[in-house]
Amino acid sequence: MANSILTLTESAVSRVRRIMELRDEEPPAIGVRIGVRNAGCSGMTYSMDYATEVSEMDEVIDAGDVKVMVDPAAIMFLIGTELDYREEKLSSGFVFNNPNVTSTCGCGESFTVN
Express each pLDDT in 15-25 by its tens digit.
999 999 999 88
- Does the residue 61 lie in any domain? yes
What CATH number did the domain enclosing 64 receive? 2.60.300.12
The range of the structural domain enclosing residue 78 comes to 6-102
Q: Establish if 107 belongs to a structural domain.
A: no
Q: How far is CA 62 from the centre of its chain?
A: 13
The pLDDT tens digits for 46-77 are 899 999 999 999 999 999 899 999 999 999 99
* pLDDT for position 105: 67
Identify the residue with better confidence: 107 or 52. Answer: 52
- Whole-structure pTM value: 0.83
Domain count, the chain: 1
pLDDT at residue 1 is higher than 60: no
User: What integer best gives the mean pLDDT of the chain?
Assistant: 87
Farthest-apart Cα atoms in the chain, separation: 41
Residue 33 has pLDDT above 90, yes or no: yes
Residue 82 lies in a domain: yes
In a domain, 110, yes or no: no
Secondary structure string (H, E, C) spanning the chain: CCCCCEEECHHHHHHHHHHHHHCCCCCCCCEEEEEEEECCCCCEEEEEEEECCCCCCCEEEEECCEEEEECHHHHHHHCCEEEEEEECCCCEEEEEECCCEEEECCCCCCEEEC
